[in-house]
Structure 1
Amino acid sequence: MLLHIIARGRIGRSPEGELVDRYAKRMGKDFKVTELPDKGGSVPPPTLNPVRTVALDERGRQLTSVEFAKILERWRDDGVREARFLIGAADGHEEALRKDADLLIAFGSCTWPHMLARAMLAEQLFRATSIIAGHPYHREG
């Protein structure tokens, strides 16, 4: 299953960008990042079907890493070919996008800069794939 981050803003050469690149290399061909301008432009249509859409949103569900992995594993086992993760700009997502998403998730009750949220999401996607594969990267206490 392709794990596809679609994010507003250019991350460029930054510490956050280096983190995203690090996890992208670990995940290989099953991971993709698409950057959109801060304003304007639209989310590209899916290239694979079926697809699920996840929007990062401050009002979304707060999941543990294991819960997140179980959702991705279930989607994969159900034949989902692409999971798209949408990160909005500073003002968040439009209501229509939030309403159409299959899942809304939040990284806690704090507000995070969207560039840092991108790096955190890349790490959580790598962690989820490690959990699914039984790799020791994720250690439960």
Structure 2
Amino acid sequence: MTTDDLKEYVGIIERMKSLINSAEFDQTFSLLTADLPKSKQFLLKMELKRLAQPCDYFIDLRGHVDGEVRPFVYRGKTHYMDDNAIQIFENGIKQYGGYTLGVYEDVMNADNNFRVMHKKETAQRVK
């Protein structure tokens, strides 16, 4: 999950995800971050590289989501996800070009995850 100090740049991160391993990455990144301090540019680039790291974590959402969980095989590994998580997973694979830490985090932070729902409810009550 993107750290709090980078939350305001989530738009840049989202736009750059699919370009991480492409030839246009550096040029597009420079254009999008030209007005940012070098320290923020560095942090953004490191976050994008972190999200693009290959991941070998198993995903097991049994008992963690509000949905029917079923086995889902990807490259010989069986993950347990509901339809929402599978959709997020498949979209992430296309976006990142493979199973990365960013895909894992997107699946684990889906809106129907009980942990995420609890966090939102708690934030609502605190307001």
Q: TM-score range by the shorter chain?
A: under 0.3
Which structure carries more helix by proportion? 2
Q: Which has the higher contact order (CA 8 A, sep 6+)?
A: 1
What TM-score does the superposition give when structure 2 sets the normalisation length?
0.27
Q: Which has the higher strand share?
A: 1
